[in-house]
Structure 1
Amino acid sequence: MRVRELHAAEAGHAVDTVFHGLSAHSRYLRFHAPVPRLTASMRRRLTDLDGRRKVAVVAECHRAPIGIARLIATGDDTAEIALAVVDPWQRRGVGTQLVHALGRLATDLRYAELHGDVLGENEPMLRLVARVFPGARLTREEDDVVRVSYPLNYRLTHEELVADLRW
């Protein structure tokens, strides 16, 4: 298995493959609603990657996509993350590797905080969050949603600040 950045040109295949590898229950946990099929507008949103404000990483086994983690900017230095792993590969470390890779990418892109919403009943995802993001803030929202917030502790270096000011 390998994890790498997903590019827009190949995102359609990866999104379709992962979506079809999810059971109805896994789709419900990922999208917080029953999603029997991937609509054209959902597919457009999930495959819209620009390398900065909308990025994704894909896990592959023998070149077949088995999971995707996405990052969508919600502010200048904050981003929401979402994750899906096909059912046969769940609880085998794929999600952990995807989240670690996405965290590194977010740090490289200078995001200071990641956040996401997890259904309270999605205990495996909440355990993954606790393991990968120790010290994450978990806040119960309405409709049994848990808001996860995790600071990346990104610190702008003096050189980066000077370069940004010159730019």
Structure 2
Amino acid sequence: MRVRELHAAEAGDAVDTVFRGLSAQSRYLRFHAPVPRLTASMRRRLTDLDGHRKAAVVAECHRTPVGIARLIATSEDTAEIALAVVDPWQRKGVGTRLIDALGRLATDLRYTELHGDVLGENQPMLRLIARVFPGARLTRDEDDVIRVSYPLTFELTHEELVADLRW
């Protein structure tokens, strides 16, 4: 399996493949509602990638997408994240690899915080978050939706520091 950045030109096929691989329960946990089919407007939103304010990574096995993690900027330095892994590949490390890769991408893009909403019943996702984002802030609302917030830290390279000082 490999994880790489997903580009807009190929996003449609990846989104379609991953959506088809999700059970009704997995779609409910991902979208927080029953989603029997991928509508045209949902597909447009999920495939709208610009590599900065809207970016994604894909996990592939033998060139077949098995998971996607996305980020969407919610401010200049914060981004919301979402994750979907096809059912046969769940609990096999794909989510961990996707979240790791998305965290690195977010850091490269200079985001300072990631956040997302998880249904309280989605215990596998909450365990994944606890492993990958130790120290994440979790707040539960009245609808049993848990808001996850995780501050990112990044180190400037010597060259970046010099460039900033010269600027």
Please indicate, yes or no, whether the TM-score normalized by the shorter chain is above 0.5. yes
Query: What's 1:70 paired with?
Result: 70
Equivalent position SS for 1:36: coil
Query: What's 1:87 paired with?
Result: 87
Q: Structure 1 CA distance, aligned partners of 2:32 and 2:12? A: 22
Q: Structure 2 CA distance, aligned partners of 1:23 and 1:162? A: 52
Q: Do structure 1's residue 101 and structure 2's residue 101 form an aligned pair?
A: yes
Q: Do structure 1's residue 159 and structure 2's residue 162 form an aligned pair?
A: yes
Structure 2: segments with no counterpart, 5+ residues = none
1:3–1:58: 8 Å Cα contact kept in structure 2? yes
Matches within 5 A, 1:76-155: 76-154=76-154
Q: What is the letter of the counterpart of residue 73 of structure 1? A: A
For 1:79-131, what per-residue CA distance to the aligned partner results, in whole angstroms no more than 9, with x for missing partners? 00000000000000000000000000000000000000000000000000000
Deviation for aligned residue 1:162: 4.2
Query: What's 2:35 paired with?
Result: 35
Q: What is the letter of the counterpart of residue 70 of structure 2? A: R
Q: Structure 1 CA distance, aligned partners of 2:14 and 2:140? A: 32
- Structure 1 length as normaliser, TM-score? 0.95
Query: What's 1:21 paired with?
Result: 21
Deviation for aligned residue 1:25: 0.2
Query: What's 1:46 paired with?
Result: 46
Among all aligned residue pairs of Structure 1 and Structure 2, give the percentage whose two residues are the same amino acid: 82
Q: Structure 1 CA distance, aligned partners of 2:2 and 2:20? A: 20
Q: Structure 1 CA distance, aligned partners of 2:7 and 2:142? A: 35
Equivalent position SS for 1:49: coil
Deviation for aligned residue 1:143: 1.0
Q: Structure 2 CA distance, aligned partners of 1:117 and 1:31? A: 10
Deviation for aligned residue 1:141: 1.4
Deviation for aligned residue 1:159: 3.5
Q: Structure 2 CA distance, aligned partners of 1:161 and 1:113? A: 21
